[in-house]
Amino acid sequence: AQTVTQSQPEMSVQEAETVTLSCTYDTSESDYYLFWYKQPPSRQMILVIRQEAYKQQNATENRFSVNFQKAAKSFSLKISDSQLGDAAMYFCAYRSAEGDDKIIFGKGTRLHILP
Amino acid sequence: DSGVTQTPKHLITATGQRVTLRCSPRSGDLSVYWYQQSLDQGLQFLIQYYNGEERAKGNILERFSAQQFPDLHSELNLSSLELGDSALYFCASSVVGQGLNYGYTFGSGTRLTVV
């Protein structure tokens, strides 16, 4: 079974600085998708960025980018120029492209932005 | 508005009672997923329906059941409620198919409090 591990329960970063959230996953599949979701205090789940495993190029969405290392099964999220609105719980997630398509979530990293 | 509608937003009920949570997926999405998020925890997959049929099952308790109706809305039924069932219940919907790299679209959740 696939698993997703986020080893940092909490992190803090100074406003305008850069922070990297770590994620590792375990799978025997070769085709899958990876996601980062953001959950602000409103509790809404918001898709931040996604990565297809077959693509070597790292995904980027404005200030958010990922470092996808397929061989190492690592998928970290980098947030540049951190803003107060980035404060949230961030979940790393995995979705198979081969079997059932449920998304498996990590336990999350709570990110604090220090003014 | 994500396009996924969950009702009610909040629910307070007593132990031993039964409740029904409702979800209307985003227009065009055939697949509905239910997740449970306990306090400060990650999202636990409960069950998935695709076009009216159960497609995948997670660690869903026998006291819980779900169904998807011909109009594609879904209901999650929770019975013999216990204090530990207090959680945020999310519904999500997506397009399903090989090669699609979309994450889910989440509803805003139903906050269930069992007293």
Task: Write out pLDDT tens, residues B54-93.
Answer: 999 998 999 999 999 999 999 999 999 999 999 999 999 9
Looking at the complex, report in whole angstroms how far the Cα of residue B106 sits from the nearest Cα belonging to chain A.
6
Beta pairing class for B10-13 and A24-26 = unpaired
Whether residue B24 is predicted with pLDDT greater than 70 in this model: the reply is: yes
Nearest to A74, CA basis, from A6, A23, A27: A23
Identity of the residue in B41, B48, B106 whose CB atom sits nearest the CB atom of A45? B106
Quote the pLDDT of residue B41. Answer: 73
| Whole-number Å distance between alpha carbons of B12 and A104 | 28
| Whole-number Å distance between alpha carbons of B109 and A15 | 30
Q: Is A88 on the interface with B (CB under 8 A)?
A: no
DSSP-assigned beta bridge partners for residue B51: none
DSSP-assigned beta bridge partners for residue B19: B78
Percentage with pLDDT > 70 across chain B: 93
| Whole-number Å distance between alpha carbons of B74 and A93 | 23
Quote the pLDDT of residue B40. Answer: 66
Quote the pLDDT of residue B99. Answer: 42
The two tokens of residue A112 are 């604090």
pLDDT in tens, A84-103: 999 999 999 999 887 777 88
Q: Is B2 on the interface with A (CB under 8 A)?
A: yes
Whether residue B98 is predicted with pLDDT greater than 60 in this model: the reply is: no
CB contact under 8 A, B98 and A93: no
Cβ contacts of A38 on chain B, cutoff 8 Å? none
Whether residue B105 is predicted with pLDDT greater than 90 in this model: the reply is: no
Whether residue B42 is predicted with pLDDT greater than 90 in this model: the reply is: no
| Whole-number Å distance between alpha carbons of A33 and A53 | 6
Q: Dihedrals φ, ψ of A85, to 5°? A: -70, -10
* Chain A CA closest to residue B58: A102
Q: What is the mean pLDDT of residues B96-111?
A: 74
Q: What is the mean pLDDT of residues A68-72?
A: 96
The two tokens of residue B105 are 């679209």
Looking at the complex, report in whole angstroms how far the Cα of residue B79 sits from the nearest Cα belonging to chain A.
24
| Whole-number Å distance between alpha carbons of A95 and A98 | 9
Whether residue A37 is predicted with pLDDT greater than 50 in this model: the reply is: yes
